[in-house]
Amino acid sequence: MNGLSQQEERLFEAFIVLTLARKVLQNDLIAVEKSFFKLKEPYLQLIHSSIGIISKELFEIKKQLHTQSMKIEFGPNDGTFSEFYCYYRGYVKTSRFLNANLRNKVQERLSHFFISNSKLS
């Protein structure tokens, strides 16, 4: 038995993916700042803007998680799988995600942010 409703499952997954996406962008921001691009400002603006959007979404998700008395923790990562714990209504759900699938979901989400932030589209 799963125990989580579809909405709670979506919150659980969105929290994980957005947290990882923000972490990726923060690491990329450091790399771009140290890079030798001739025109690095547009990249920095795009990354800052995307981090801001992700942070706002995470804020809303955290409010919803708090309202539903849910807490999510990141567990161990063995290189192939990542483990996450969801505490809800007195229960603990342990989920393991294949890192390749997480990477693809994060990449898809970041592509969405970059395309929606683009002034060209």
Domain locations along the chain: 6-117
Q: What is the mean pLDDT of residues 30-41?
A: 91
Q: What is the mean pLDDT of residues 8-18?
A: 94
For 84-108, letters b (16+ CB in 10 Å) and e give bebebeeeebebebeeeebeebbee
Q: What pLDDT score was predicted for residue 119?
A: 59
Residue pair 45/56 in contact (Cβ under 8 Å)? The answer is no
pTM: 0.88
